[in-house]
């Protein structure tokens, strides 16, 4: 089997491409696996030399437990594996001795109608299951549940500032600053509302240039009182107006009472006014 064109890099055949060939052969050799598709950035044709291999396989739910019991042997036939992580019965993550990463996700053929054909590059299809896949998925806008969850968690994190600063726990505060940045990034990704935003290690090309510039301009994180406070407040200056906007767009209730309590709490304990 050749490497699908969208999976190759500009440099041509790579160790990762060879891995995909071996993985495809191993999957095809198991009759329980009825079809397989390359997904992720390689399946979308937007991969680079750092992209991992993501594969979706169709296997009947009744066959999946036995297949997972046999899975270590199948994976070892592809490459020497130094790390395997099973996420329930839906996904298995792998790292090879050469530090190539590949993930395999499992779906019952009867569930394919719930999946879009977008970003799926066929590797093999014994039963023409691709015909069951849904058409392109249009962006539905930001998720109200996600916006609400991110907003409440961001406000909760900010509410811990008096605790860590009052105790001079600046290392803990630096960790909280990193979490505040992460929540801000997640909210910016939700603003884009891409049907398939891709992995967390690939923000360029997903976020607009102005959002990337805002993230780049955030203060550096250090385990000092000044840095912890500066990062939290700078992140809040970007997060809060965006959270209000996305709440309006998605129909999510904005937690105004929680924000008002937080403002009073920070003013009372730290003499800090939120942006």
Domain map (residue ranges) of the chain: 5-132, 144-270
Q: What is the CATH number of domain 144-270?
A: 1.20.120
Could you please state the CATH topology (level 3) that the domain comprising 5-132 is classified under: Beta Polymerase; domain 2 (3.30.460)
Burial of residue 85 (CB within 10 Å: 0-12, 13-18, 19+) is exposed
User: Measuring CA to CA, which residue among 101, 87, 81 is closest to residue 20?
Assistant: 101
Q: Give per-residue burial for 190-214: e unless 16+ CB within 10 Å, then b.
A: bbebeeeebeeebbeebbeeebeeb
- Give pLDDT, residue 192: 86
For β-strands 101-107 and 53-59, DSSP reports them as parallel
Q: Which tokens sit at 147?
A: 């916006």
Degrees, nearest 5: CA angle 238-241-246: 110
pTM listed for this prediction: 0.76
- Give pLDDT, residue 206: 79
The strand order across the sheet containing 101-107 reads 81-87, 91-96, 101-107, 53-59, 33-39, 121-125
- Give pLDDT, residue 1: 46
Over the chain (275 residues), the average pLDDT of each successive run of 10 is 48 78 97 95 83 95 96 95 94 95 96 89 96 76 93 98 97 97 95 64 79 96 98 98 96 96 97 91
- Give pLDDT, residue 3: 52
- Give pLDDT, residue 219: 97
- Give pLDDT, residue 241: 97
What pairs with residue 104 in β-bridges? 55, 92
Do 154 and 206 meet the contact criterion of CB atoms below 8 Å apart?
no
- Give pLDDT, residue 199: 56
Q: Which tokens sit at 71?
A: 């899975």
């Amino acid at each position: 089997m050749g490497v699908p064109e969208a999976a190759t890099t500009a440099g041509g055949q790579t160790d990762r491409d060879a891995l995909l060939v071996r993985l495809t052969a191993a999957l095809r050799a198991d009759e329980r696996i009825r079809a397989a598709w390359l997904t992720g950035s390689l399946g979308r044709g937007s991969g680079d030399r750092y992209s991992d291999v993501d594969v979706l396989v169709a296997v009947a739910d009744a066959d999946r437990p036995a297949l997972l019991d046999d899975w270590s042997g199948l994976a070892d036939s592809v490459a020497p594996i130094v790390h395997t992580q099973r996420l329930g019965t839906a996904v298995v993550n792998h790292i090879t001795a050469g530090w190539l990463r590949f993930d395999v996700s499992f779906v019952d053929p009867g569930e394919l109608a719930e999946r879009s054909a977008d970003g799926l590059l066929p590797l093999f299809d014994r039963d023409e299951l691709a015909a069951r896949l849904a058409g392109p998925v249009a962006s539905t806008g930001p998720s109200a549940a996600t916006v609400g969850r991110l907003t409440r968690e961001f406000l909760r994190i900010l509410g811990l500032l008096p605790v860590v600063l009052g105790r001079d726990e600046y290392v803990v505060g630096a960790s909280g600053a990193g979490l505040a940045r992460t929540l801000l990034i997640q909210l910016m990704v939700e603003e884009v509302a891409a049907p398939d935003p891709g992995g967390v290690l690939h923000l360029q090309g997903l976020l607009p240039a102005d959002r990337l510039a805002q993230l780049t301009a955030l203060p550096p994180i250090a385990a000092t009182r000044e840095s912890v406070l500066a990062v939290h407040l700078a992140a809040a200056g970007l997060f809060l107006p965006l959270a209000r906007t996305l709440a309006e767009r998605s129909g999510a209730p904005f937690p105004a009472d929680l924000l008002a309590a937080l403002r009073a709490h920070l003013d009372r304990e730290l003499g800090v006014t939120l942006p």
